[in-house]
Amino acid sequence: MHISTIQDALQKNNQVLQRFIKYAQLDTASNPANDACPSTPAQLKFAEILVQDLKEIGISDAYVDKKGFVYASLPSNCSSAIKVAFLAHMDVSFDFNSENIKPVIHKNYQGGPLRLSGGLTIDPADNPHLMDCIGESIITADGTTLLGADDKAGIAEIMEMLAFLIKTPEIKRPHIKVCFTPDEEKGTGINDIDLDKLDADFGYTVDGGIYGEVNMENFDAYSGKVTFHGINFHPGHSKGMMVNAIRYASRFVELLPAHETPETTEGRQGFIHPTSIHGDTSSAEVKMLLRAFSLSEIKRFEEIIRKTTEMLVAQEPRLKVDVEIKESYRNMVEVLKERREIGTYLEEAAKNVGLALNHLPIRGGTDGSRLSFMGLPCPNIFTGGVNFHSPKEWISLDKMVLTTVFLLALVQSMT
């Protein structure tokens, strides 16, 4: 089926919009203070709604497990034996108000600032991507809440892809597996996914931003802890005897490279970021984040940390220092470069819909990076959403339709 025919059909039936509005109105914020999964009952309720919606479009095996994960599958209708998963998360951020979300549709956007209640505006001056959406319908919240396009847009797009595939059996597809996951914003949800149940060869999280942006790389993330052991004496009688751990901890932080910090780096540059100093005269501890896009960079940072502490010990041999460097998460490119076809399917789909992909390295982690190291290679692809976690969050309905068209082209590229 021709891409333009698919696009026309999706635009006419308007289902992406209806699904998105229905899902966005539910307050499904996760709760970082609750260790249970899902961390909020609203996510479980949303999971049940999604199961019902999946059954309505004709996916009979849809179900939600005890942890709040929704699993569903659509078998291949051709000779393709590929099993591809699509994942999106059900929770929204707890960083901003998500109670009583009222999506507002700004039809036929003609440029200029979008005005929300309370004097809030979304201005093309700091949202240049708005100018790529002239004549389109822009969806925002009303100015008092976030919108939750992160990641309700991803869910609506995956649902519409499935509905369209079922209604249009002449479109060839591989085995499609779907998983809607809880507690992504907390960073812990994905630990409880059952990859045996999902049963896929690889996957895509549909949880990215601007139309066309894909993420196949993320930070290699390590944490560092340096503990300085000093010697304490009565301060009135400690000449030549006291070794103050606090002084060495602060000297250490001062000696870290000033040009490799979060506030001085961007793109593919890494950093060492001291996050806390705790202690007293006898013992002081400095905690740090080490971030880079390769393990050799991480090794270089580790070397800087060790050399700096050795220099301090050389100046004061009575000082004792412990250095601890631990892995937090890894760059998924390590996994994806062994599985070139996963990126090739994206390129092929992009070519078929006339889109130039924009590869952006993520300066953070994603569920996909965890999944990649758990055995499910999983880049992240765009939803069309912008300004996540904020009252200025927005998404173009037309880009949501185009994203669904892209997903349909993606599954066809595997047949």
Residues that bind Zn ion (CB under 5 A): 150-151, 207
160 given a catalytic annotation: no
Choice between 207 and 217, CB closer to Zn ion: 207
The CA–CA distances, whole Å, from 161 to 147, 248, 392 equal 22, 58, 27
Which residue, 285, 282, 283, 286, is CA-closest to 235? 282
Residue tagged 């509905």 (tokens):
163
Choice between 109 and 382, CB closer to Zn ion: 382
Choice between 76 and 205, CB closer to Zn ion: 205
CA distance 27 to 144: 13
> What stretch of H or E contains 7?
helix 3-13
91 given a catalytic annotation: yes
The CA–CA distances, whole Å, from 384 to 90, 143, 406 equal 17, 19, 11
C-alpha angle 241-244-249 in degrees, rounded to nearest 5: 150
For 139, residues 6+ apart whose C-beta sits below 8 A from its C-beta are 17, 20, 21, 103, 104, 105, 106, 147, 149, 394, 395, 396, 397
Choice between 57 and 206, CB closer to Zn ion: 206
Least distance between Zn ion and beta carbon 28 (Å)? 12
Phi, psi of 153 (to 5 degrees): -65, -45
CA distance 405 to 352: 10
Choice between 209 and 230, CB closer to Zn ion: 209
Which residue, 292, 85, 81, is CA-closest to 205? 85
Q: Which of 53, 91, 151, 213 is catalytic?
A: 91
Least distance between Zn ion and beta carbon 272 (Å)? 27
Least distance between Zn ion and beta carbon 157 (Å)? 13
For 320, residues 6+ apart whose C-beta sits below 8 A from its C-beta are 228, 229, 313
Which residue, 350, 349, 356, 354, is CA-closest to 412? 349
Choice between 76 and 93, CB closer to Zn ion: 93
Least distance between Zn ion and beta carbon 207 (Å)? 4
Choice between 28 and 331, CB closer to Zn ion: 28
Least distance between Zn ion and beta carbon 408 (Å)? 22
Q: Which of 157, 160, 183, 184 is catalytic?
A: 184
For 117, residues 6+ apart whose C-beta sits below 8 A from its C-beta are 142, 143, 144
Contact 164, 170 (CB under 8 A): no
Q: Is 199 left (phi over 0), alpha (psi -120 to 50) or beta?
A: left
> Known catalytic residues?
91, 184
